[in-house]
Each structure stands twice: as C-alpha cells, then as structure tokens.
A = this chain, B = another copy of it.
Amino acid sequence: MTELKRLPTLPGVHLRNEIAKISHRLIELNHDRRLDKNVWDKVELARHPERPYTLDYIHHMFPGFIELRGDRCFADDPAIIGGLAAYMGRTIMVIGHQKGRDLAARARRNFGMPRPEGYRKAQRLMNLANKFGIPVLTLIDTAGAYPGVAAEERGQAAAISQSLLCMARLDVPTVAVIIGEGGSGGALALALADRVIMLENAIYSVISPESCAAILWKDAEEAHLAAQTLRLTSANLSELGAVDAVLPEPRGGAHRDHAAAASIIKQALEENLRELEAMHPQARKRQRLEKFRQMGVWSEGGLTLF
C-alpha cells in the first residue's frame, strides 16, 4: 500500500483511484467497534514522560547544534527550539517543539505548547534557511498551541496560518517528523513539509481524544473510544495517506533507547533529503502543493474520490 503510493506518478498515469479503493477496503477490514487496547497504548506511548524530545534527538543526531532564538518581535518562546546543525556534510535547520523533561523545564517550556512567538521564530528561521539554501527538518511533539488569552491577543491564529504559508512557500527541501504528540493546528503549523514522517508510536490528530470525547460523546471517559474512532495512530494515518512514511521504533518504544530512535530518524532523513535535494526547487514546491491538494475524500457526481 505504502509502496503503491511511493511509486513516482508518471504523467497520465493516476494511481489515486486504485489507492482509494484498496484504502477503503483496508479501512473496512480494520474497522471494529470493539475497543482495541493497542490504540490507547499508542496514545500513552506518544505521551510517555521518558520519550525522547526534540532536544534529545538534537543531542544524538547533531552534536554541533547552534540554537538561534527569538522572533525579533516580542519574545523567545522556549516551547519551540530552532537552530543550525551540521549534517552529512551540509547544514540543516532543525526546528521542533520541546516539552521539557523535568518540572522546571516543563514550566519554562510551557509543556511544549507554543505561543505565537514560537511560530514566528520558526518562520524567521525557515526564511533564514531558505535564503542560504539550507534544508529544514521539523520535529513535532505538542499537545497543541497554547490556549491562553494573551496568546490569542497576540494572534495565535495568524501565527499558525503564517507558519503554514511560510512552509508552503519555501524553496528548500523540508522534512517533518512527528516524534510524539501531533496535536492539532499547533502541530500542523510545522508539518506542511515535502515529506511528513511519523514514528511508529507517535499520534497525529485534529483534536485530543479527551476533548473529542467531551464534545461528541459528552463524556471525557470515552477518550479511548474517541482515540480509536479518530484513527490517530501511525498505521491509521499511513493508510489514510496523511503521512508519507512510518518509522519503526526500538523494541518497546523510543523511550527505551533514545540513541537508536535518533539513528532511525537520521537514516530516514538521509534517504528523504537525498531524493528531495536532487529535485529542482520549483518542481519540489509544485510537488508539495500538489501533495496537500490531494488530501481529502469526497464524492462528486456519485463517484467517491480520494
């Protein structure tokens, strides 16, 4: 299935309908109203307090990392970290959510929930990378953008939309890796990338299972059912075509072996950059826009399209 998707799309040959049919069959086969304990396990793994965070991956992957700070406007938001790193003979820009490991770090980093300044810093760094032809790697791990009055007043919505537009616009290759919690718009703001990759035990969802249960089931206790219904695991998302690839984690989960998890991401980054860097910047951008255009399932004149 993933292989089918990975085939280069030749002009005039459209595999999308084939994929859609198979995809739907898979969904039907997989679909089960009974609670699948595995799904909630994934949610817990994705939020595991010892799971590697952005700084852990930076530590293992990029020893010479140079952090760059500030949005040049209002503040430096520690919930998003960004900077330059040397990687396989070239520079890359690494940007990611950082939840904070201990209590003090969590408070300082606002549990990885960015305020508008975080997204504006990310945009500044992505534009800097673009100026010098530096590819961008984003590491995504947030429960969501911070829901606070001051954050709203400083334009949380515009900060996210502009971050999306910034990523749509870049001429350089972009790779996003969902390493833990991919929570709603606050995660997507860093994930409009040429390649969106997900760790096996990460989750990526439009809303947290708890909030979804509270709204739709009127009962937060139904979070397990909501998680299953939202189809937020890496396997689900790969089936839905929402992510380009899923990376296996070390046995037991990434938290068992940070170094091994980092090395898995590093290899995937290498492969993806190899492909992306060989493309013309304009072609790469077209492909990115076209990829996101394909996101959606609807019927038109009776035909369901995917």
Contacts and interface: CB of A to CB of B under 8 A. Distances in A.
Contacts of A155: 72-74
Interface string A139-167: 00000000000000011001000100000
A72 B74 CA distance: 13
A51 interface: no
Contacts of A120: 73
Interface of A: 72-74, 116, 120, 154-155, 158, 162
6 contacts: A72-B155, A72-B158, A72-B162, A73-B116, A73-B120, A74-B74
A73 B116 CA distance: 8
Question: Main SS of chain A's interface residues?
Answer: loop
A73 B74 contact: yes
Given A73-B116, A73-B120, A74-B154, 10 more contacts: A72-B155, A72-B158, A72-B162, A73-B73, A73-B74, A73-B154, A73-B155, A73-B158, A74-B74, A74-B155
Contacts of A116: 73
A269 to B, nearest CB: 32
A31 B204 CA distance: 73
Contacts of A74: 73-74, 154-155
A149 B154 CA distance: 19
Contacts of A73: 73-74, 116, 120, 154-155, 158
A72 to B, nearest CB: 5
Contacts of A72: 155, 158, 162
Contacts of A162: 72
A164 to B, nearest CB: 14
A245 to B, nearest CB: 35
A296 B110 CA distance: 50
A158 B162 CA distance: 20
Nearest to A116: B73
Pairs of residues from A and B, 8 with the lowest C-beta to C-beta distance, nearest first:
A72-B158, A74-B154, A73-B73, A73-B155, A72-B155, A74-B74, A73-B154, A73-B74
A162 B124 CA distance: 13
A158 B70 CA distance: 12
A73 B155 CA distance: 6
Contacts of A154: 73-74
Contacts of A158: 72-73
A64 to B, nearest CB: 27
A74 B74 CA distance: 8
Nearest to A120: B73
Counting chain B CB atoms within 10 Å of each CB, the highest count among A74, A116, A154, A158 belongs to A74
A5 to B, nearest CB: 36
A200 to B, nearest CB: 38
Nearest to A162: B72
A162 B71 CA distance: 13
Counting chain B CB atoms within 10 Å of each CB, the highest count among A116, A154, A155, A158 belongs to A155
